[in-house]
Structure 1
Amino acid sequence: MVERDTREQAGREPASEDAGPAARGKPGRRERNKEDKLRRIKEAARELFVSKGFDDTTIRQIATQAEVGLGTVFIYAANKRDLLFLIANEGLDEVAGAAAAAVDSNAALIDNLLAVFRPHYAFFERQPELSRLVLREMTFYDSGAQAGSFRKTREALIELLGEVVRLAAERGEITIDETTAFVGWTIFCIYQVELRRWLSDGTVDVESGLDRLRRALLLLIYGLGAAAPRGG
């Protein structure tokens, strides 16, 4: 009887410490090694882009500082610009989630817009030097392993802005003759220009940046009050 109880208890014991990683739900040594290499590549690229400048940094220098082979870098990024956006894409999903969660269906249009943009400004404030490089390179960024992810994030933001406009129109706060998608795109364009101006200033402060953005958005919302054009 005692022997049977012992066998039953043993059957209920947790997996041994010597069990494989899959049994314990942990990444294996190979996976951990890949994650560590990617982390070192990102850190090396971030440091060199800021200290030496994007144009003067080479993929080989990044590989050397990260202590990985040149071919290993190309597993994660097709070129130097792609590597820059590999770093930039990190954390953007979290920012997008925070922006979407900040929208209040009962809030004024301007308040919702600023609530959406606040986490984005906070994200770019963390490393202004790197953010300036990203904004400079993003204009013609349409190919590479990281391009799809970056475009997806940008399109999601424009779609969210259109949704905020739709909510305001449904409440009767605004009247629009254009599609909400086009208005959302226009708002995004204003944000992009203001973001670049803000990052080019000597002092990068979220509140001052949002205050300037607020002025520009209010101008869009209320217009210039121009009289109707004469004639046809």
Structure 2
Amino acid sequence: MALGLREKHKLDKLKRIRTAARTLFLEKGFDGATTRKVAEMAGVSHATVFLYAKDKRDLLFLVFNDDLDRVAEEARGAVDPSASMLDQLTQLLGPFYRYFAQDSMIGLLGIHEYTTAVASDSPQMQRVKQRAESMLAGICSVIDACKASGTVVEAVDSSRATQVIRAIYMAEMDAWLRTPPLDCEAGVQSLRAALGLLFMGLRA
């Protein structure tokens, strides 16, 4: 069904707001960017910005939520259940490296602001939380499947292991984003090395 004129105008405003916000966050950083400046650059009223984002932090997540939802969906679909646990986790998490290689500063801002906004109930933050929960579920599913196949010991607490793996991923992603020029392959290999250390259990 073709979009009506009103819907087209709303989508156009959203696109302009998102583009302006991305530009300002990259140029000014999170603290330096303002919602008023975003509105001015997007050619909309200040009040219009708040129809799409609750506050400046919400505006940051508005910049990349659609993209990351798509990346997450594609990553889940690319997981090969017959592969090793390490390969499956690489298939699940690796695509995010390729995405953030395009906008490392946006990635760093997102990681930092996520850790300080987990209690927010804004629409954009809820999408971030849903994506995080989906990632945790994906990691847990890989662990459970490997337990069922006998490649991971049954005694492993899947939930706790999932949290540890995600923590390693977040730390690796943060460190990688801070070391330009970004090399996706090097970032993913570093993640694999860190996860491999976990899987070996530091045993003698």
- Greater Rg over alpha carbons, structure: 1
2: distance between equivalents of 1:167 and 1:106?
A: 10
Residue 77 of structure 2: aligned partner: 101
Report the 3-state secondary structure (helix = DSSP H, G, I; strand = E; otherwise coil) of the residue aligned with 1:32.
Answer: helix
1: distance between equivalents of 2:151 and 2:56?
A: 46
Residue 177 of structure 2: aligned partner: 199
Where in structure 2 are the equivalents of 1:39-78 lying within 5 Å? 39-78=15-54
Deviating above 2 A after TM superposition, structure 1's stretches of 4 or more consecutive aligned residues are 176-179
CA offsets per residue over residues 126-172 of structure 1, 9 Å max, x none? 11111111111110223122111100000100110011111111111
CA offsets per residue over residues 8-47 of structure 1, 9 Å max, x none? xxxxxxxxxxxxxxxxx21111110111001000000000
Scaled by the length of structure 2, the TM-score of the pair is 0.95
2: distance between equivalents of 1:166 and 1:73?
A: 43
Residue type at the aligned position of 1:184 = T
2: distance between equivalents of 1:110 and 1:29?
A: 49
**Could you tell me which of 156, 165, 173 is aligned with 1:187?**
165
1:175 pairs with 2:158: no
Residue type at the aligned position of 1:151 = K
Residue 140 of structure 2: aligned partner: 162
Contact 1:102–1:116 (8 Å) recurs in 2: yes
2: distance between equivalents of 1:62 and 1:94?
A: 25
2: distance between equivalents of 1:85 and 1:34?
A: 18
Scaled by the length of structure 1, the TM-score of the pair is 0.84
Q: Percentage identity across aligned positions?
A: 38
**Structure 1 residues not aligned, in runs of 5+:** 1-24, 227-232
Shift of 1:205: 1.2
Residue type at the aligned position of 2:176 = W
Shift of 1:179: 2.4
Residue type at the aligned position of 2:135 = L
**Structure 2 residues not aligned, in runs of 5+:** none
Contact 1:159–1:181 (8 Å) recurs in 2: no
**Higher relative contact order, structure no. (Cα contacts within 8 Å, ≥ 6 residues apart):** 2
CA offsets per residue over residues 100-129 of structure 1, 9 Å max, x none? 112222111111111111111111111111
Residue 195 of structure 2: aligned partner: 217
Shift of 1:72: 0.2
Report the 3-state secondary structure (helix = DSSP H, G, I; strand = E; otherwise coil) of the residue aligned with 2:202.
Answer: coil
2: distance between equivalents of 1:224 and 1:129?
A: 34
Report the 3-state secondary structure (helix = DSSP H, G, I; strand = E; otherwise coil) of the residue aligned with 1:90.
Answer: helix
Contact 1:110–1:217 (8 Å) recurs in 2: yes
**What is the root-mean-square deviation in Å for CA atoms of aligned residues?**
1.1
Residue 89 of structure 2: aligned partner: 113
Shift of 1:88: 2.2
Number of aligned residues: 202
The structure with more helix, counted as a fraction of residues = 2
